[in-house]
Structure 1
């Protein structure tokens, strides 16, 4: 207990019950369950208390987010902590709520000032921070507690009280730091001081990086120096290398925001975006990747991959050290360096010999080596993959487009085509292999025409994916044979297989005879608007649009498939309506029916995850041309959303070009690209508008997109960011050449 206090549960329960918890909200809605959890946390049943703690982390501190109920829970958590009941657990909850909070706005209304000087309601985040600041006397008393864990938890929690708590917390934390002996508590104290007073605490951080400090404190000092914006010195560099591996030193810290120290330090420095800081990170990682300690190399490989995702110069700079780490690991690839080499693309070419040698082995290590070689040296990888295609699933996935078809597909190679043809003969139903084969053959097109016999033979077993491959590879001389096979499949089998065959037949030959009745059948099943289950409406509408005026018989069914105007629609239903609007335009040639449908979608921006639906609606509007001029006002409202700027700009260019201020729109498109929001679409839109007309400022910004070190593309599937960003860079350079 703190101060020897006895905990009287009766008033605690009474005060809990006095608050209108059911009217408060947390992550799952009503907070009526919070009093029960707080009672259990303060109770004698350890199992119930543990479960209550988990519930509170899920509801009032959900993944770091705080809510209305979170602030109201803080005083009760403080009373539990003050009574010495699960003090550490209660303090950590309080600190987490403070961390998820924000500094109060002096002009906002609060519980003590309901009107506020500006009449603005205080946010939940500010209310939470204010509630924790009110408990600073408890937190600061707890940093003197006899229990080390309590002192550490209190020191960490006090560090998140922000500017509102700094005046009281900083002197008290400094006083405690002067006498504290425990390394972990000293580390937590220093981190909190730098968080609350970076300028005033920077000298203390710099003074603790030397070898005389305990390792835990030393690491905290290094991280604090980076966080405080101090220059990266030789002493900091050497301290990190001497302390490697770093993760074990942070394992018992409550500062989970710095739970992976080498990663966190490197990202902090890279985000400063200076040549000196980048080189500091690269020098640090180069040395760590060459360490004799396998754990240190493992940490460094993970950070190196992150650096490659953030910095365009990182792959070339780190490739030799990653190769050294892979050589040190041996065949088991313990640090992951071998796989990381595949993230470097052509810049990992110096590792091609090693990767090829490892790929010639057996088992998963060989498969991972070949997977990396696919991106490093695809020509060389093709011949190795051809030798043992069935036993190289990871490499085959990479060769056919990687996860989500996000990576480049391996170029055509005769020996690999031969292996794929043999694989077609042994494919079993189900699984992803048929789709991978289709992706590979489709990318090769007519070069893979020799696979037509095997595709035809495998078609009955894998009709959905292989119809696409057949259309892509079919040479003129075999069109009749392939068309006959597809036509036969339009008459038998499940509906989705017949539909796929009929669409492929239409794409290959233009024959829409078998497709029309299948479309009528699909649309009849969704009459009256349906909700877009299984994308049936959308697929039917898209196929009807491809047929055009010859699909006039489907117009009544397409109209019937529209959702009721003015009703609430989810995103799939809106996507259905967009596809139907496009089909009606393509079939009838008019826009009178399509414009109101698209207006209804474009005017509804309140739903969750609406971005791509709005993009599709804007693209559909562009396809209507000048006849969609009534959509111009709603399209203009989308221009200022960086995620929607490119689609809205292109739509306005198509429907009302005279209303566009091209200079203003160019600036908005550059804003979107620089923010990493739809950067490809933004650059493509700039090219449509004409890069030769860009102002000097806009041309300079476009050049910066191509030549800056920081990636423009910052998110994507694992292993795809670097390749996607390099594609963007090439596109920007092409746009500049056009200018």
Structure 2
């Protein structure tokens, strides 16, 4: 297995954490007699040698030895090594169709590494080399289809289909093995292999598609039928039954009534990332994967997906309902629809005795913000019944309370009052309070007290102060000006994040407006320093002295061609409206900035100051198409423009008709994506209603 391993100059290679001199130990650990050592070694391979999907020179050097390990019959846990090889070879690239098929062909198109850059023209690129290396050894996967170890047989169909150079041999092998295989988990993996084959090799896919269609019907077992339906939805949706949702729900419930956990040997539970991930897996992981595949395949068919979720959430099986809650997250984050009914059903899961189900429901409801309102009654009841999460001992802000406050429900105010009675509160408390709107006014005195408790010279001064300032500003609670000035005047100059702290303090003063006149001397004193722009913005809001604030703001606009550094000054000038007319020539030139965000901000300022739509609308149209994240800023300005923005209303109308959220993207998401999208939709409606 390891012949020649000591002849490799590992010390000259690198992985995610520097020298790869420790890689031979990891490779040998994969063959250890002790399960915990094997798991730790595999964790190390993913953590360093193949960190977050990266491919290093040491990763490439490992490939021959990994193939040697999987060829060694009787070695435990080879299924995990097969999965590692598949990942190194690019096993998560898009399932692009192959080139025209024929015996000996079948390289999938789109050989791009996960970073998204084209690697085919760069022969030395590690990702391309890795894919080539795994393909060159892929013949071993043909033998592993009939391996004695079911974990190996379960892991091998996907890399076999993806990397084999002989698709004409692969499909008959999959079909034959599916006929002979008795392990349910392996049979499901073979069905997934058939679906992947149909997507990658459309010219050879007819037998695979026909078999999937056959497997969708009785008398096959429910799990296999669900797997086949999911794959058919991905590769041949026109072959799906008309009563898809009702069929899937019936199969799910039937399967759940007879489901028993697999008889796999108990795995180790090491304190590694892999060990923690195993402990987090759903009780019915196969069931979760079956339905996850179907949800993914249905994509924008939100009506069908909502009906499917409602069927999952009506199951008597806790695991089915837990899986449904987690699957709802992907639907809510990516697609726009009317979600009141499934959200209410998720709220019902808060009454469950199963802690994992309750936690899943809370986690989903937290990122829905106002869309979680149909579950507010259940959230309020859970908050009231779980006072230990917020009302006793050390101040905490439990998920149920955070989710309830984010809906804007005033029932969150009493428990938040108890949280704020502690001298030190969770940093996110202030940001949570903002979502309550005017209902949070009774909390303002306590927020002020907590701001007074923030130390002046602590490393966490900014972290503690900024959320409180955000809440006090949202509530326009100018009674807190003395506490703001204490931090503004008393924080030492070498305080970490001082600039960010001053920005947060002045933003609060901007919100307080003329009621913060007590701060005028301090703000004037900052006009000639590093915080001049922030101070000028606040001084304008508090005093309205254009003569005092224009010079530092105009200086901060910088020379033509500067990349993005002028945005704070641009935004401050926009707040001044027509009083900043002297800045219009420079702002018009900034609408040609190389930085999209700077030119968008400049266009907004040109409108707010000069009310001239001509130089503004072309910038908006260009930025709208280039970066969806700019749409919120643009739409807010279009609201202010009224009829003058009508030439851009086609963009707004198209956005409102789009089924996909504007921030939806593959490979990640933000905790506020749903909130930002709902805010965009609200403003889009305001634009058209005001036209």
TM-score, length-scaled by structure 2: 0.68
Q: Match for residue 703 of structure 1? A: 653
Say whether residues 1:125 and 2:127 are aligned partners. yes
User: Contact 2:12–2:20 at 8 Å: present in 1 too?
Assistant: yes
Q: What CA deviation, in whole Å up to 9, does each residue of 1:476-508 have, x standing for no partner?
A: xxxxxxxxxx6xx988785679x9799799973
Deviation at 1:621, TM superposition (A): 11
The structure-2 alpha-carbon separation of the partners of 1:308 and 1:165, relative to structure 1 and needing over 3 Å to count, comes to same
User: Contact 2:306–2:342 at 8 Å: present in 1 too?
Assistant: yes
The structure whose Rg is larger is 1
The structure-2 alpha-carbon separation of the partners of 1:263 and 1:687, relative to structure 1 and needing over 3 Å to count, comes to farther
Say whether residues 1:443 and 2:474 are aligned partners. yes
Q: What CA deviation, in whole Å up to 9, does each residue of 1:182-220 have, x standing for no partner?
A: 222222222122112244423333433457545654553
Q: Match for residue 543 of structure 2? A: none
d(CA) in 2 for partners of 1:356, 1:48 = 46
Q: What CA deviation, in whole Å up to 9, does each residue of 1:519-552 have, x standing for no partner?
A: 88xx6xxxxxxxxxxxxx4x4663367669xxxx
The structure-2 alpha-carbon separation of the partners of 1:590 and 1:83, relative to structure 1 and needing over 3 Å to count, comes to closer
Q: Match for residue 142 of structure 1? A: 144
Deviation at 1:133, TM superposition (A): 1.6
Say whether residues 1:730 and 2:685 are aligned partners. no
Say whether residues 1:225 and 2:232 are aligned partners. yes
Unaligned runs of 5+ in 2: 99-106, 113-118, 200-204, 268-273, 391-397, 541-546, 575-579
User: Contact 2:188–2:224 at 8 Å: present in 1 too?
Assistant: yes
d(CA) in 1 for partners of 2:430, 2:186 = 52
Report the 3-state secondary structure (helix = DSSP H, G, I; strand = E; otherwise coil) of the residue aligned with 1:334.
helix
Q: Match for residue 242 of structure 1? A: 254
Deviation at 1:729, TM superposition (A): 0.9
d(CA) in 2 for partners of 1:101, 1:353 = 41
Q: Match for residue 484 of structure 2? A: 467
Q: Match for residue 328 of structure 2? A: 304
Report the 3-state secondary structure (helix = DSSP H, G, I; strand = E; otherwise coil) of the residue aligned with 1:190.
helix
Q: Match for residue 178 of structure 2? A: 177
Say whether residues 1:58 and 2:60 are aligned partners. no
Say whether residues 1:79 and 2:85 are aligned partners. no
Counting matched residue pairs gives 609
Match of 2:405 among 350, 369, 374: 374
Report the 3-state secondary structure (helix = DSSP H, G, I; strand = E; otherwise coil) of the residue aligned with 2:437.
coil
Q: Match for residue 411 of structure 1? A: 438
Report the 3-state secondary structure (helix = DSSP H, G, I; strand = E; otherwise coil) of the residue aligned with 1:207.
helix
Q: What CA deviation, in whole Å up to 9, does each residue of 1:442-483 have, x standing for no partner?
A: 3232xx57xx4xx69xx6xxxxxx327xxxxxxxxxxxxxxx
Q: What CA deviation, in whole Å up to 9, does each residue of 1:109-142 have, x standing for no partner?
A: 9xxxxxxx99653643333222212112211112
d(CA) in 1 for partners of 2:662, 2:42 = 41
The structure-2 alpha-carbon separation of the partners of 1:693 and 1:683, relative to structure 1 and needing over 3 Å to count, comes to closer
d(CA) in 2 for partners of 1:519, 1:441 = 24
Report the 3-state secondary structure (helix = DSSP H, G, I; strand = E; otherwise coil) of the residue aligned with 2:629.
coil
Say whether residues 1:626 and 2:576 are aligned partners. no
d(CA) in 2 for partners of 1:429, 1:638 = 37
Match of 2:625 among 656, 666, 671: 671
Larger mean CA deviation between 717-726 and 300-309 belongs to 717-726
d(CA) in 2 for partners of 1:666, 1:491 = 40
Q: Match for residue 154 of structure 1? A: 156
Report the 3-state secondary structure (helix = DSSP H, G, I; strand = E; otherwise coil) of the residue aligned with 2:438.
coil
Say whether residues 1:712 and 2:665 are aligned partners. no
d(CA) in 2 for partners of 1:653, 1:590 = 17
Q: Relative CO higher for 1 or 2, CA cutoff 8 Å, sep ≥ 6?
A: 2
TM-score, length-scaled by structure 1: 0.64
Q: Match for residue 632 of structure 2? A: 680
d(CA) in 2 for partners of 1:184, 1:145 = 14
d(CA) in 2 for partners of 1:118, 1:53 = 29
Unaligned runs of 5+ in 1: 1-6, 110-116, 460-465, 469-485, 524-536, 549-582, 603-612
Match of 1:207 among 193, 197, 214: 214
User: Contact 1:680–1:728 at 8 Å: present in 2 too?
Assistant: yes
d(CA) in 1 for partners of 2:327, 2:402 = 21
